[in-house]
Structure 1
Amino acid sequence: MAQPAMNPWRFIASGFGSGLAPKAPGTFGSLAGLVIGCLLLLAGHIALLAGIVVSCAIGLYAIGRLPEANEDPGWIVIDEIAGQMIPLLALYEFSIWGALLSFALFRLFDIWKPGPVAWADRRKDEWGIMGDDIIAGLMAWLVMLLLHLVSPL
C-alpha cells in the first residue's frame, strides 16, 4: 500500500520528517525533540515551556486531522518531540550530560511504558498518542528532579 501524500498535518505529525526514518522512528523523533528542546532551553525555561505547550497543542490538532492516527502509526513522532522536551525543564542550564540523561530517561519510560504510560498508550486517539509520551516525559522529569538531591545536573 502506498504512503498517503504529504500534507501540512502529516509533516507536523511526522516530526518535520524525522518520523520517516526507516528504522527507529521514535528514537529519531526523540532526537529531534532533544535538539529543539536544548535550543529552547538555551533561550530560557520560559521558552522551553512555551515550546512544550505549543508542540502539544499543534500535535493534538495535527494528529486529530489524520484518519490513520487511530492505529498510532510509527511515523507519528510529534508526541516524542513534545515528551522529550519535558525532562529538560529539570536542568538548571543546558549541559551535554543533562541532555543525554533526559534523553535516556525519556526513552526508558517511553519504551518500558510503566503504569500510566501504558494506560494512555491503550487509547488509540490523539489524546492517547500524545498522552503516553507526555506522561513518559513527566516521569523522566520527576526522576531528574530527584537526582538533583544527590547531584547537580
Structure 2
Amino acid sequence: MGASPKTSLYVGGLEKNVTEQVVHAASIPFGDVKDISMPLDQATQKHRGFAFITYFEKEDAAAAMDNMHNGELYGRVLTVNYAQPQKMKGGEQGWASQAVWADADTWFERQQQEEEINRLNVEHQATVSAAEEADRKKLQEAQEGETEQGDAAEDPMAAAEAEALKVT
C-alpha cells in the first residue's frame, strides 16, 4: 500500500500532451512531491488522461487539491481529489482505475472467442463421434466375418466378446 490516502491525489482531465514533468511542475508549488504516476493505455502507450500525485505531507496534498481542483492546465479543467487506496481496486482490470464501459471491447472479444471455441468444440465432437461410429461398424463387420479369433486378439474388447461367443 505505501502511501496514505491523505497524501495521494487523483488528477483527472489531463490533456494528451501533458507529461509527468508538466504535472510535477504544476504540483511542486504546494510541497515536496514523493511520486507521480501516469498510467498508460496499453494500446496507444499514451497516458489515459489522469495521474496520481503523492506528497510527503498530507497538508501539502490538501493545499494542492484546494488550489488545483477546477484549475486549468493546457486549456483543460482539472478534477483533483484524494486517490482511493490501491486495495479498493478489484476485478480483472482493476475497476477503480477505469470507467465501467472501458472493458466493453475486451468483453465482446472474449464473448466472440468463447462462441468460436464452443462452435469448434461442437464440430470436433461431431467428427470424433462419426469416427467412433465408423470404427464400431468396421469392428462389427470384422467380427461378423471372423470364424476364429484372428484380428480380434489385437482388441481386448473384441477378444473378450469372441471368448464369450465360444463359450455359448
Q: Which structure is higher in strand share? A: 2
TM-score normalised to structure 1 length: 0.26
- Between structure 1 and structure 2, the one with the greater Rg is 2
TM-score normalised to structure 2 length: 0.24
Q: Which structure is higher in helix share? A: 1
Greater RCO, 1 or 2 (C-alpha within 8 Å, sep 6+): 1
